[in-house]
Amino acid sequence: MTPKLVLLDECVPRPLRRLIAVHDVRTVYFMGWDQMSNGTLVARAEAAGFDVLLTADRNLSYQQNLQGRKIALVVLPTNRWADLVAHASLIQRALDEVPAGGFLEVAFP
C-alpha cells in the first residue's frame, strides 16, 4: 500500500489524522482553505496534488462531478468522534482502496 496525500474536510474532526497516520494527512485549516466553496476546494486540493478528499458532507458527491479528475472522494456516514474511532479500520481501508478520481462512501455497521 502506497501512502496517499489526504485532505480532511472542515466537517471532519481534526484528530482523525492520528487514526489514519499511515497516510500523509492534512486539514483544510492547515492549508488555509477553510470557508471555501466545495467546488473551489476540490479544484485547489487536486491542483496541490492531494489524492483524496475525506469528508462527512454527503452532498458533496452530488455537487461535484469527479469524471476526469485525479482526486478521489471518500465520504463518511457521520462526523461523530466515537463512531469514527470505532470504525477507523474501515476508514483506513476506504482510503487504501479508492482509485484516483473515484468515489467511495464508507458504511459503518
Give how far the C-alpha of residue 84 lies from the chain's centroid of Cα atoms, to the nearest Å: 13
Percentages (nearest 5) of helix, strand, coil residues in the chain:
35, 15, 50
Range of the domain at 64: 5-105
CATH of the domain at 96: 3.40.50
Q: 0.85 cut: is pTM over it?
A: yes
Number of domains in the chain: 1
What does the chain come to in residues?
Answer: 109
Residue 25: half-sphere exposure toward Cβ, Cα within 13 Å = 21
Return d(Cα 16, Cα 3) in angstroms, integer: 16
pLDDT in tens, the chain (109 residues): 789 999 999 999 999 999 998 999 999 999 999 989 888 999 999 999 999 999 998 876 666 666 778 999 999 999 999 999 999 999 999 999 999 999 999 999 9
